[in-house]
């Protein structure tokens, strides 16, 4: 049996999905976290069902690719039961979609999610009355706390077995405006508005969206976030690194120095150590902080505040989501451009998002610049990155004139993040690093050790010598730069391998470190991001964007070099 | 009156949208002609407006708001 979850953006579909399927779908308190469908087999009441989490859609006739994906799935696949997840606090608009789903004439359940929020806002919903009127089961749910989940799925099972469509008390209407009127009328009839208690949630926006304080707080939040990531990373990195150094020494002690086995093992150990000691200490707190901000619902507020500024780079505030996701990883950032309606916006947002330093490049910046020059230097480099992105955006938007009306974005209510959800989210992404990136780091490091042993690494170095020469970098950094295209972490890990030391200060001057970090920050996104670009925008766009990043990287790091020379 | 000129915290009713494309798009977010809404916040420097409609809050870019025509009325549902 196949059960599909569908609902308007940010109604908690993925939260419900994760409650039954384990943490498999990304969640966040803003529209459009889910851009493609996730399927999972789950066991309900002794039966295995295929559960599908579809991207949020205000309507099945939506224009954004994420919405089209949802509609396509419902039309093409054999779905036995549709669970329409609705945010009970906005029942009037949620019913728009419910009434549209009636048109599909498939077994349908309306699941009223966030009943706790509704109660807090003084809303009382007559679920039975609504169920009679619509002719479909209506079930209460608090997905975030797991309440009502079991009953909901037992109901779905029952409905799927009986294969009954809905009783036609309401004639499905194919006109959207008519449905909207009916939805409003239904909501008026079955929702009683009680006394609305003003909560901190209502007052929070007065501060966070304040024309002056809002921006000050935004800067403060970003600064504290940065300091926290740096503080934790710096605390953890040295002892772990020391541990691995000692471990490597004792492991390699019985081997003859300079032998092939010695060099390979050394390479492997450097890869292992880099993953645990250099990447994870920064990646984990970063993902934790990002997860917190996502679940609180702060990101759409950032979009609201940044809209005016984003217009100056030819985009609107909604494109801030790919940007912010980009700091975690460019792949979801590129994928999240699907929530933008216009192809031109998607292209521009994707191109600019690949210039955002992801967590892997963060490791390079922190491992080199912050570690040796202090956190302020890293912060300045991040600001410089923003300036460059703004400039590139301006130039690109001149080439691709804007014809879109601009921002339309729903502001979710603030929610208190649950530790469980945030930690599962962090684990979801850290696991990805451990499973996919870390082995690549280790293999890459071993491959480089082999290349070094047979003295063939020089060929790679020679290939990119024009670039390294222009930037005043030692030719040996050519290999880490090339391998950095595979995984960005490699450009740091293999740097230690190429230079033969993890103490970068002894091998590179300060200027060289900053220039190198700047170049790594901008040049060709990693292979996974390139693949995502190709999937979303096509091969040509991918090549153009990759070429663009090289030009930008060269210009930016040359500028840094010149400034450093003058200083 | 254009939505961008609507006074803060006054309930207004949508009477039209200047571009049919935009009208379609807004309707996909559940915003139709005849809906009553309230501007609750306006970002500085020609930034977006925050509006409340049917109990939901939306940010609308200034250029979007300029194309939405509204009139001041007393709406029953509010």
Chain A contacts in chain B segment 57-76 (CB below 8 A): 57-64, 67
* Alpha-carbon gap, residue A244 to A274, rounded angstroms: 9
pLDDT digits (tens, 9 = 90+) for A203-214: 888 888 888 899
Give the up-direction half-sphere exposure of residue B47: CA atoms within 13 A in the CB hemisphere. Answer: 24
Give the pLDDT of residue B78.
43
What residues of chain B lie within 8 A of the CB of A193, using their CB? none
pLDDT category of residue A344 using cuts at 50, 70 and 90: confident
pLDDT digits (tens, 9 = 90+) for B22-66: 888 888 777 888 888 889 888 888 889 999 887 788 889 888 899
Tokens of A36: 């493609």
As its CATH architecture, domain B3-72 has: Roll (2.30)
Q: How far is A63 from chain B (nearest CA, A)?
A: 8
Q: Do A405 and B29 touch (CB under 8 A)?
A: no
pLDDT category of residue A166 using cuts at 50, 70 and 90: low
pLDDT category of residue A23 using cuts at 50, 70 and 90: low
pLDDT category of residue A331 using cuts at 50, 70 and 90: confident
The mean pLDDT of A486-510, rounded to a whole number, is 80
Q: Domain A2-193 - what CATH class?
A: alpha beta
Q: Do B47 and A307 touch (CB under 8 A)?
A: yes
pLDDT category of residue B77 using cuts at 50, 70 and 90: very low
Of A184, A309, A409, the CB nearest to B59: A409
What residues of chain B lie within 8 A of the CB of A187, using their CB? 54
pLDDT digits (tens, 9 = 90+) for A425-439: 888 878 877 887 788
Q: Do B33 and A96 touch (CB under 8 A)?
A: no
Give the pLDDT of residue A403.
65
Q: How far is A352 from chain B (nearest CA, A)?
A: 21
Could you tell me if A16 and A34 are in contact, meaning their C-beta atoms sit under 8 angstroms apart?
no
Give the pLDDT of residue A207.
87
Write the CA distances from A56 to A4, A334, A337, integer angstroms.
Answer: 12, 18, 14
Of A308, A309, A411, the CB nearest to B58: A411
Tokens of A273: 């150590």
Q: Do A317 and B48 touch (CB under 8 A)?
A: yes
Interface confidence (ipTM) of the complex:
0.88
What residues of chain B lie within 8 A of the CB of A190, using their CB? none
Could you tell me if A209 and A301 are in contact, meaning their C-beta atoms sit under 8 angstroms apart?
yes
* Alpha-carbon gap, residue A284 to A277, rounded angstroms: 12
Could you tell me if A488 and A527 are in contact, meaning their C-beta atoms sit under 8 angstroms apart?
no
3 state SS of A256: coil
Shortest CA distance from B34: residue in chain A: A181
Give the pLDDT of residue A82.
92
Could you tell me if B36 and B53 are in contact, meaning their C-beta atoms sit under 8 angstroms apart?
yes
Q: How far is B26 from chain A (nearest CA, A)?
A: 8
The mean pLDDT of A122-145, rounded to a whole number, is 88
Q: Do A93 and B56 touch (CB under 8 A)?
A: yes
pLDDT category of residue A167 using cuts at 50, 70 and 90: low
SS3 sequence of A293-328: HHHHCHHHHHHHHHHHHHHHCCCCHHHHHHHHHHHH
Domain with CATH 3.40.50.300 in chain A: 2-193
DSSP 8-state code for residue B77: T
State the angle between helix axes of A510-522 and A490-499 in degrees (0 to 180), rounded to the nearest 10.
150
Q: Do B61 and A411 touch (CB under 8 A)?
A: no
* Alpha-carbon gap, residue A515 to A508, rounded angstroms: 11
A333: contact with B, CB 8 A cutoff: no
pLDDT digits (tens, 9 = 90+) for A282-309: 778 888 888 888 888 888 888 888 888 8
The mean pLDDT of A12-38, rounded to a whole number, is 70
């Amino acid at each position: 049996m196949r059960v599909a979850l569908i609902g308007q953006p940010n109604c908690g579909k993925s939260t419900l999905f994760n409650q039954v399927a384990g943490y498999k779908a990304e969640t966040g308190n803003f529209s459009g976290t889910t851009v493609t469908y996730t399927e999972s087999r789950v066991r309900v009441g002794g039966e295995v069902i295929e559960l599908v989490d579809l991207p949020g859609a205000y309507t099945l006739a939506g224009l954004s690719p994420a919405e089209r994906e949802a509609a396509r799935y419902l039309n093409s696949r054999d779905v036995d039961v549709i669970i329409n997840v609705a945010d009970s606090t906005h029942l009037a608009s949620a019913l728009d979609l419910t009434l549209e789903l009636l048109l599909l004439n498939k077994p349908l359940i309306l699941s009223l999610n966030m009943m706790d929020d509704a109660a807090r806002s003084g809303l009382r919903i007559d679920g039975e009355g609504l169920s009679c009127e619509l002719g479909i089961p209506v079930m209460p749910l608090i997905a975030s706390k797991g309440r009502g989940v079991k009953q909901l799925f037992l109901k779905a099972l029952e409905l799927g077995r009986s294969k009954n469509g809905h009783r036609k008390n309401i004639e499905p209407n194919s006109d959207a405006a008519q449905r909207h009127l009916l939805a409003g009328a239904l909501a008026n009839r079955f929702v009683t508005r009680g006394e609305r208690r003003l909560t901190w949630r209502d007052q929070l926006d007065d501060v966070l969206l304040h024309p002056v304080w809002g921006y000050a707080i935004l800067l403060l939040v970003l600064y504290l976030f940065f300091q926290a990531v740096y503080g934790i990373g710096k605390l953890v990195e040295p002892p772990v690194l020391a541990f691995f150094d000692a471990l490597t020494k004792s492991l390699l002690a019985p081997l003859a120095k300079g032998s092939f086995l010695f060099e390979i093992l050394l390479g492997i150990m450097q890869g292992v150590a880099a993953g645990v000691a250099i990447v994870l200490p920064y990646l984990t707190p970063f993902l934790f902080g990002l997860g917190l901000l996502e679940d609180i619902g702060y990101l759409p507020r950032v979009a609201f505040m940044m809209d005016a500024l984003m217009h100056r780079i030819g985009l609107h505030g909604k494109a801030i989501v790919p940007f912010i996701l980009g700091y975690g990883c460019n792949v979801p950032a590129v994928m999240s451009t699907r929530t933008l309606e216009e192809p031109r916006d998607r292209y521009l947002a994707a191109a600019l998002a690949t210039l955002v330093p992801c967590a892997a490049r963060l490791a390079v910046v922190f491992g080199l610049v912050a570690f040796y020059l202090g956190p302020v230097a890293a912060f300045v480099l991040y600001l410089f990155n923003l300036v460059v992105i703004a400039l590139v955006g301006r130039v690109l938007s001149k080439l691709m004139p804007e014809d879109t009306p601009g921002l339309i974005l729903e502001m979710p209510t603030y929610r208190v993040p649950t530790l469980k959800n945030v930690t599962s989210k962090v684990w979801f992404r850290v696991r990805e690093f451990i499973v996919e990136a870390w082995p690549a780091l280790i293999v890459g490091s071993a491959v480089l050790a082999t290349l070094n042993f047979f003295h063939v690494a020089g060929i790679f170095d020679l290939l990119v010598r024009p670039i390294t020469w222009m930037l005043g970098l030692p030719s040996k950094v050519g290999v880490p730069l090339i391998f950095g295209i595979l995984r960005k972490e490699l450009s740091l890990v293999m740097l230690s391998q190429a230079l033969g030391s993890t103490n970068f200060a002894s091998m590179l001057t300060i200027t060289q470190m900053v220039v190198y970090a700047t170049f790594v920050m901008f040049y060709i996104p990693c292979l996974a991001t390139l693949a995502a670009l190709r999937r979303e925008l096509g091969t040509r766009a991918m090549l153009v964007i990759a070429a663009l990043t090289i030009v930008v990287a060269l210009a930016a790091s040359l500028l840094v070099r010149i400034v450093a020379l003058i200083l | 009156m254009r939505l961008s000129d609507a006074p803060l915290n006054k309930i207004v009713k949508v009477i039209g949208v200047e571009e049919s494309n935009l009208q379609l798009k807004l309707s996909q977010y559940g915003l139709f002609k005849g809906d009553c809404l309230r501007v609750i916040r306006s970002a500085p420097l020609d930034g977006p407006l925050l509006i409340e409609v049917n109990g939901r809050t939306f940010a609308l870019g200034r250029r979007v708001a300029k194309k939405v025509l509204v009139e001041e009325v007393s709406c029953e549902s509010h």
